[in-house]
Amino acid sequence: MRSQGRAEVPAHRVILANWLFSMKSLTKSSFFVLVTVLQPLIFSTIAFFMFKSGGRPGSLLYAALGAGLMGIWSSTLFGSGGLIQWERFQGTLELLIASPSQFMWILVGSTLATSTLGLYSVAGTLLWGAVAFDIPLELAHPALFVLALPATVIGLGTLGLVLASTFVLYRHANALSNLLEYPVWLVTGLLVPVSLLPGWAAPLGWILSPTWGIKAIRYSALGGNPVPALLATVGLSVAYLVIGTRFIAYFERRAREDATLALT
């Protein structure tokens, strides 16, 4: 007698199942509605008013896209940062590890879900901008824009994977998430050019995918060549994926071998 399950569940199936499941689960959380919908609307409104009353020349679309991406970062940060702790708190972590699906693919699906939900922020800020501030959505390279969005989502989702796996070592992951929201908005130039910041901020931004994601999105919307930034986003995603899965394999080993990282 054999079980009906499979000894090795294919990675794409695990990722897809977790992506869908996590999105469903997260949208039932009011905190997530706040982070992905309300907070970006409020921040974009602040930016619109500041740009208008400061007489900042240039497009309000610049601000709308930046605020949208700020939302993707918040969504990824709060969704992925405490992911493993949350599963542990619920008592589901050991069930996930005890399943024949590879834990790293489970996490890839879940962290991608957190950045995907950030698309609500982009849609929300663009729509809000159009309705309340008459910001037209005129895209310089529509096809590249459509390509840049999912690339950015993957870039942030895989960064979320790195967060999920490293935050395990920090007991209060939510506090760390609270800390990292504004600084990443700053050093990745989502709303303010990094050139206004001290010199050391820019190199920090280079290794973070939102820097390249926002460039790819802005150039494809407002004009310019988005292709190099698009490639950088994809390149970083691959790097994050390699680093993140290594960390997770390490976490799993420590948990099973020395029981130093508790599963429950």
Partner 1 sequence: MPVVGAPVVEAIDLRRTYKTSTGSLKRKSLEVEAVRGVSFAIEKGELFGLLGPNGAGKTTTIKMLITLLIPTSGTARVLGLDVVKDARAVRSQIGYVFGGDRGLYERLSGLDNLRYFAELYGVEPHEQKRRIGELLEMVGLTGREKERVEGYSKGMRQRLHIARGLLHDPPVVFLDEPTIGVDPVGAREMRAMIASLTDQGKTVLLTTHYMFEADALCDRIAVIARGEVVAQGTPGALKSLVADKTVVEIEVYGVNDESIERLRRVEGVSAVSVEERDQLQLLMVQSAVGAEITPALLAQFDGAKIGRVVAREPTLEDAYISLVEGDS
Partner 2 sequence: MTAGTAVLGAPRSSSLTSFFRVLFVGGIIVYRALFNWIRPAIYIPTMLGSPLFQILFFANLGKYSGVGDTNFFVVGNAVQVCSMSAIYGATMTLANERYFGTLAQLLATPANRAALFLGRTLPVIANGLLVSVFGFIVGALFLDFSMPASQIPALALVVTLTVVSCTGFGMMLGSIGIRARDVFFASNLAYFLMLLMCGVNIPIDSLPGWMQAISKALPLTHGIAAARLLASGETLGSVAGLIRTELLIGATYGFLAFALFRYFEASSRKYASLDRF
* Contact between 263 and partner 1 per CB under 8 A: yes
Q: Which does 134 bind (CB under 5 to 8 A by kind): partner 2, partner 1, none?
A: none
Roughly what angle, to the nearest 10 degrees, separates helices 227-257 and 142-166?
A: 20
* Contact between 171 and partner 1 per CB under 8 A: no
Q: Considering the complex, state which of residue 197 and residue 254 has its C-beta at the smaller distance from partner 1.
A: 254
Backbone angles phi, psi at 220, to 5 degrees: -75, -25
Rounded to a whole number of angstroms, the minimum distance from the CB of residue 32 to partner 2 is 10
Question: In this chain, which of 20, 46, 95, 146 binds partner 2, going by CB under 8 A?
Answer: 46
Q: Considering the complex, state which of residue 220 and residue 245 has its C-beta at the smaller distance from partner 1.
A: 245
* Contact between 55 and partner 2 per CB under 8 A: yes
CA dist 95 to 88, 139, 152, 252, Å?
A: 10, 46, 31, 13
Cα separation, 35 vs 121, whole angstroms? 9
Rounded to a whole number of angstroms, the minimum distance from the CB of residue 255 to partner 1 is 8
CA dist 206 to 157, 184, 233, 234, 236, Å?
A: 17, 11, 10, 13, 10
Q: Which does 43 bind (CB under 5 to 8 A by kind): partner 2, partner 1, none?
A: partner 2
Cα separation, 93 vs 103, whole angstroms? 10
Roughly what angle, to the nearest 10 degrees, separates helices 39-53 and 119-133?
A: 40
Rounded to a whole number of angstroms, the minimum distance from the CB of residue 251 to partner 1 is 13
Q: Which does 199 bind (CB under 5 to 8 A by kind): partner 2, partner 1, none?
A: none
Backbone angles phi, psi at 196, to 5 degrees: -75, -15
* Contact between 196 and partner 2 per CB under 8 A: yes
Q: Binding pattern to partner 1, positions 66-95, x when CB under 8 A?
A: ------------------------xxx-xx
**In terms of DSSP H, where are the helices of the chain?**
11-27, 30-33, 39-53, 60-81, 83-90, 93-98, 103-116, 119-133, 142-166, 173-187, 201-206, 209-222, 227-257
* Contact between 239 and partner 2 per CB under 8 A: no
Question: In this chain, which of 142, 209, 257, 261 binds partner 1, going by CB under 8 A?
Answer: 257
SS3 state of residue 148: helix
Q: Considering the complex, state which of residue 83 and residue 232 has its C-beta at the smaller distance from partner 1.
A: 83
Q: Considering the complex, state which of residue 187 and residue 236 has its C-beta at the smaller distance from partner 2.
A: 187
* Contact between 191 and partner 2 per CB under 8 A: yes
Q: Considering the complex, state which of residue 85 and residue 101 has its C-beta at the smaller distance from partner 2.
A: 85
* Contact between 51 and partner 2 per CB under 8 A: yes
Q: Which amino acid is at 125?
A: T
